[in-house]
Amino acid sequence: MKNTSKYQAGVIGAGSFGIAMANIMAENGKILLLARREEIADKIRTTGHHKRQDVHPNIEVITSTEAFAAQCELIFPIVPSASFRGMLDDLAPFLHPYHRLVHATKGLVINIPKDQQLEKLESLQADQVMTMSRLILQETVVRRIGCIAGPNLASEIAEGQPAATVIASPFEEVIREGTAVMRSSRFRVHASPDLLGIELAGVLKNIMAISAGILHGLGYGDNTMALLITRGIAEMIRLARIFGADARTFLGLAGIGDLVATCSSPHSRNFTVGFRLAKGESLDDIIADMEEVAEGVKTTFIARALANSHKVSAPITQAMARILQGEMEIQRAVRLLMEFPFTEDVEFI
């Protein structure tokens, strides 16, 4: 039997973006927030503040997964990709077919032997890679699923700046309900039926964001950044076509829009990784110092292995993987990319 929750939706994850999105939704009604740890929940209840953001009074925070699922039918998981499967393992026993899940995780899950190091991975078939929506379908009874993606920098949303996102789902009901929960005078919501394309756009742009941070850290200007963005979107489309995604999806808000934002902003975690690499810091030190996950590092190695297996031209991804591994100096990678024999300007349409 369906629940009769007083909550219009629930958010899983009390990171920066989880709090920012919960605050957006709370402008339209009561929201339930599932935090992983009791100390985080206690902090929010006591101070009304977390991740440098005030937490809207319409948000109630709990730590019980069972109680959360019992009280929310429309659920927004907003957790790093490395934590996504574990989150589903905890949540799945309490889910029913009437639940709707709309995730905001910009990462991929891969099926490789446990002793295989990701950064050493040279080949990977498409059927070894899962988006978060595919993982939800595999691990739960939920079938009405979706995702959100777009130029959604948490710090700017938290400041109340105008922003927009895309909600993608093959189910009109999911799009309609998700839009009603998220839409506000400062946050627009666009719709797309291309769930796979929107997911991949949000994932693959993180590779280019690290590259953009490197270029900025080296002192390159707007011409170079425009070159990266335009060649980057072409490379993203070629990689996404391995999975059968539609190129047109990448020309919208969740594609080129998100790419421009993350390639231009020091608030982007992936941009920050690249910038700090360019300044001479080691990748291990950068990752250890960051409060939240930069998904682009893992995605770079996955995309390189896919490109190798499927014979897809991905020079930016290939160069980034070698930089992240410490196999190639940054300046040499830039020189090689400038010498790469690109042909047509817009070959992907």
CA dihedral 246, 128, 79, 86 (to 10 degrees): 150
Give the span between the Cα atoms of 143 and 145, in whole angstroms. 6
CB 228 within 8 A of CB 276: no
The active-site residue, picked from 30, 51, 106, 205, is: 205
Clarify whether 51 is annotated catalytic: no
CB 209 within 8 A of CB 321: no
Say if residue 267 is exposed, middle or buried (CB neighbours under 10 Å; 0-12, 13-18, 19+): middle
Give the span between the Cα atoms of 38 and 41, in whole angstroms. 5
Give the span between the Cα atoms of 274 and 283, in whole angstroms. 9
Among residues 12, 5, 53, which one has the least CA distance to residue 30? 5
- Residue type for position 34: L
Q: Rounded to a whole number, what is the distance in angstroms from the first to the last CA of the chain?
A: 48
Among residues 303, 333, 176, which one has the least CA distance to residue 242? 303
Active site residue ranges: 205
